[in-house]
Structure 1
């Protein structure tokens, strides 16, 4: 896969995060008594059905390369998906998403430890300001089990995005996403059986819609994090919070309070600032190259 610019990678992440909000919104429409493990299994099943046609015409050579990394990401993704359903159905959409967006900050130390990435003062500052915005949104005095579930989701998102660089680069985006969902299905099916609830296929259509939207997000992540260092682009993930605020207001009548608005500004403004810094650095590098 060819390298893309930092600006384009951040743009892809912004688009992916905005689309992902609609996946969360569909999850929030589920009935309170919906079997969580069954729904997560339905999401993976429909994701495989959606992706398979895109992989039929691609080269099958070395299709299972890097299977251990696909398996690791698949089960991290499954773990996060379970807690995501819990978090989204237990708190306002924008609040849950604000906690999910602790992921870019979590990625900074992870990237330093796993890939020896050098953290710039700008990326650290953007991450810290963004996380401070998350704290303003959730207000630590109101931290509860639902917020803890959302924090678990943030950790799994961070780990999954960083592990993308362990995957074989010759595999297409569709193949990568197919394998991630396919190898996680046995565990998801096992959990659905263990759940012991009667099989209810009613949420299947909701699961399919949620899968379609989240696959767009996952695809942008694969492209972006394969092409640029995570500390330079991870703050673009915060953009989806604006979408969550809008969808929560229009779809679920969730009116954001002042703390939510202040926290959102603290999350988004560092992103804009970091993008400008990266653009200036790229301009300086081009000038030096020309000289």
Structure 2
């Protein structure tokens, strides 16, 4: 649990750095900087754990698909960070677990019961509250960009469930960052903005926090049940609020708080229900027959 809290904190600091960069560079260039700045640290991790040979024994089609999704996801999130407070972006992004559950049925063949569909519907209702379709919310490209990023994250997470059956965590992280860097960098070339020397520290910080955060979250899920530590992801909202207040003197309004409470509550319900169902299934598998 401590490792998960550390991971969330590091990744939140990374997002704070991305928001600083997003104010000065195009979204695709920020996406490139996110991937490229973490690659050297990830290479050290790969070399000291599984070795570089394992990087070639992967399922290429799914990795290429994840790379395309990563470019779209990171550029959308960077675009949103140019105008949205970090805490508001996190509030909308928390809809991702609901999207994962909704897509796990048609894409993975998993059963999604009525109770879960009701929780998903409540979560999306909370999203509409945050977006405020009668005012500036739904018409905000930044808000829609966060939803696009959350959808990309959900699709990427579902692909990990499939890739995890054959590929190592190191190969998934390495190829995701490599393809993100290559794809976003290539698309960013026409509108490339020269990088200012003063931003070097922020870029290195983004890379270091991103790499350490990825390592920490991998260790957390390896050492504890997902249902126990997954709710700790919502601690990112506290980090977002602190960074918004310290760096940009911004805080969400009351309507955003209301919608965020609905979204987080729906996500926590799904996590709790999945935990309960897993426990029931485990008991059924270990109990002797009557």
**TM-score under structure 2 length normalisation:** 0.79
- Other-structure match for 2:44: 53
2: distance between equivalents of 1:208 and 1:193?
21
Cα distance between partner residues in 2 of 1:206 and 1:217 = 16
Of 251, 263, 270, the residue aligned with 2:266 is 270
- Matching residue within 33, 52, 57 for 1:42: 33
Cα separation, 2, equivalents of 1:59 and 1:33: 37
Residue 121 (structure 2) aligns with:
128
Asked if 1:79 is matched to 2:72, the reply is: yes
Moved more, 26-35 or 232-241: 232-241
Question: 1:141-290 residue pairs with structure 2 within 5 A?
Answer: 141-142=135-136, 143=138, 144-167=140-163, 169=165, 171-215=167-211, 218=214, 220=217, 238-285=234-281, 288=284, 289-290=286-287
| CA pair 179-276 structure 1, distance change in 2 beyond 3 A | closer
Partner Cα distance (1:222, 1:121) in 2: 33
Evaluate the alpha carbon distance shift between residue 89 and residue 136 of structure 1 in structure 2; reply closer, same or farther with a 3 A threshold. same
Compute the displacement of 1:236 (Å): 6.8
Long gaps (5+) in structure 2:
none
Q: Could you say what secondary structure the match of 2:55 adopts?
A: coil
Asked if 1 retains the 8 angstrom alpha-carbon contact of 2:22 and 2:78, the reply is no
Asked if the contact 1:39/1:207 (under 8 Å) is kept, the reply is no
Residues 175, 284 of structure 1: alpha-carbon distance in 2 compared, 3 angstrom cutoff: closer
Tell me whether 113-122 or 171-180 shows the greater mean CA deviation. 171-180
Answer with 236-245 or 256-265: which moved more: 236-245
Is there any run of 5+ residues in structure 1 with no aligned partner, and where? 1-7
1:268–1:38 Cα change, 3 Å = closer
* Aligned residue number for residue 111 of structure 1: 104
Rounded to whole Å, the distance in 2 between the matches of 1:139 and 1:194 is 35
CA deviation digits over 1:217-251, x for unaligned, max 9? 555379859x9999x99877555334323432344
Distance 1:196 1:59 in 2: 34
d(CA) in 1 for partners of 2:267, 2:232: 6
Residue in structure 2 matched with residue 63 of structure 1 by the alignment: 55
Q: After the TM superposition, which of the residue ranges 37-46 and 108-117 deviates more from structure 2?
A: 37-46
Query: In the superposition, relative to structure 1, how do residues 229 and 130 fare at CA in structure 2: closer, same or farther (>3 Å)?
Result: same
